[in-house]
Amino acid sequence: MTNNNSISVLIPFYNTEKYLAEAIQSVLDQTLQPMEILLLDDGSTDGSAKIAESFKPQISLFHQDNAGISAARNALLKKAQGEFLAFLDADDLWPPDHLKKLFEPFRSNKQLGIVSGYVEQFLSPDVEEPIAEIPDGNKVLPGYVMGTFLIKKEVFKQVGYFNEELKLADTVDWFARVKDGETGFKMIDDIVLRRRIHTTNTGINQKGNRHDYTKVLMASIKRKREQENSESE
């Protein structure tokens, strides 16, 4: 079975100078070290790129004009050399055993394409006036976000890359395509991501694009109908 040297870690970022160093350090602190750590600056206008530069040569850094999170992830996907891919948003954190815990199930089950775990949400210490308190029932949840997944690269060949036309629901759309297919998926019981809640989260800033979720739902329904029709022919 493939060893840890086949894992690529992908971190796109845009104007996250407050949190980027912590995110990168949480990858460097992994008990199972990846083959490569790739960062992409999506046209930042703050000091994020300089912070990323300070971690060389432990990371590889790329730049592009601002094109959004989906385009940034796709650009990193095309550069990744590993058989396994792990994504981390630049404002979130991995526990030290993130990669170790997620990689373990692949050793015994070759049918798996994606392994995920739980996400622990926390209110960022720099937030002064409350966005909202995180209810106890929402602090630890099953992880269906990119930062909780370890993914075989071949899965992207099967279901495609991220939809760059979506501003908010790109992950939801991609995982819906996974579920509509036959990719082997496993959820482990461990917390594998600490998701930071702060005033500049995409979900807060992109409220106007929530119609993207309707597009994703309709696309999923269309795929299922087409599949049902092809099976009945």
pLDDT in tens, 3-50: 566 999 999 999 999 999 999 999 999 999 999 999 999 999 999 999
Task: Tokens 């629901």: give the residue.
Answer: 169
pLDDT of 205: 44
What pTM was computed for the model?
0.83
Residue 61: pLDDT above 80?
A: yes
Domain residue spans in the chain? 4-232
Q: Is 141 exposed, middle or buried (0-12, 13-18, 19+ CB in 10 A)?
A: middle
pLDDT of 199: 75
* pLDDT tens profile 189-199: 999 999 998 77
Residue 187: pLDDT above 90?
A: yes
pLDDT of 108: 93
Between strands 84-87 and 150-152, the pairing is: antiparallel
Residue 219: pLDDT above 60?
A: no
* pLDDT tens profile 155-169: 999 999 999 988 767
Average pLDDT of the segment spanning 37-65: 98
**Closest Cα to residue 101, out of 149, 157, 58?**
149
- The class level of CATH for 4-232 reads alpha beta
* pLDDT tens profile 98-139: 999 999 999 999 999 999 999 999 988 877 665 556 666 668
Banded pLDDT at 73 (limits 50, 70, 90): very high
